[in-house]
């Protein structure tokens, strides 16, 4: 049984992070579109099937978001040399510029953590945040592979 205080803490943190995310979205991209750009910014390119697994979404849902991002020139797609049926997807310079503005807000959030937690608390926060992020990501990937 999960302690009710953990549920409440997670819920409040999620709500605050969503509210902060909404403040830095002048282009009104969906959360999914932002997540796609964020993932693509970490790699040279990615196949749509890989994005589906990482984001835990269907191919149809991804295709709709990729179409909008491509129309807005936030991503570029090119045929794979290995398999002409596959589209290699990468973030465009415009997409990178958009994320730079959002990363400034991430720096602001990190500053808040730095100002409200001791060095020891920050170290623990980093460890716990990374552990939770990895657990969530692993669960999504595992669920996708079992479907």
| Ranges of the chain whose pLDDT falls below 50 | none
**Domain 4-116 CATH assignment equals 1.10.10.10:** yes
Q: Provide the whole-model pTM.
A: 0.64
- Per-residue model confidence as pLDDT tens digits over 60-73: 999 999 999 999 99
DSSP string of the chain, one letter each residue: ---HHHHHHHHHHHHHHHHHHHHT-TT---HHHHHHHHHHTTSS-B-HHHHHHHHT--HHHHHHHHHHHHHTTSEEEEE-SS-TT-EEEEE-HHHHHHHHHHHHHHHHHHHHHHHHS-HHHHHHHHHHHHHHHHHHHHHHHHHHHH-
């Amino acid at each position: 049984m999960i302690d009710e205080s953990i549920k409440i803490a997670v819920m409040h943190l999620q709500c605050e992070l969503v509210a902060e995310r909404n403040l830095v979205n002048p282009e009104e991209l969906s959360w999914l579109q932002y997540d796609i750009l964020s993932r693509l910014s970490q790699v040279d390119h990615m196949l749509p099937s890989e994005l589906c697994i990482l984001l835990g979404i269907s191919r149809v849902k991804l295709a709709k978001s990729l179409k909008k991002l491509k129309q807005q020139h936030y991503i570029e797609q090119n045929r794979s040399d290995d398999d002409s049926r596959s589209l290699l997807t990468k973030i465009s310079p415009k997409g990178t510029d958009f994320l730079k503005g959002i990363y400034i807000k991430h720096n602001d959030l990190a500053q808040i953590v730095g100002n409200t937690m001791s060095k020891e608390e920050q170290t623990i926060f980093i460890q716990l945040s990374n552990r939770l992020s990895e657990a969530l990501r692993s669960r999504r990937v595992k669920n996708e592979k079992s479907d």
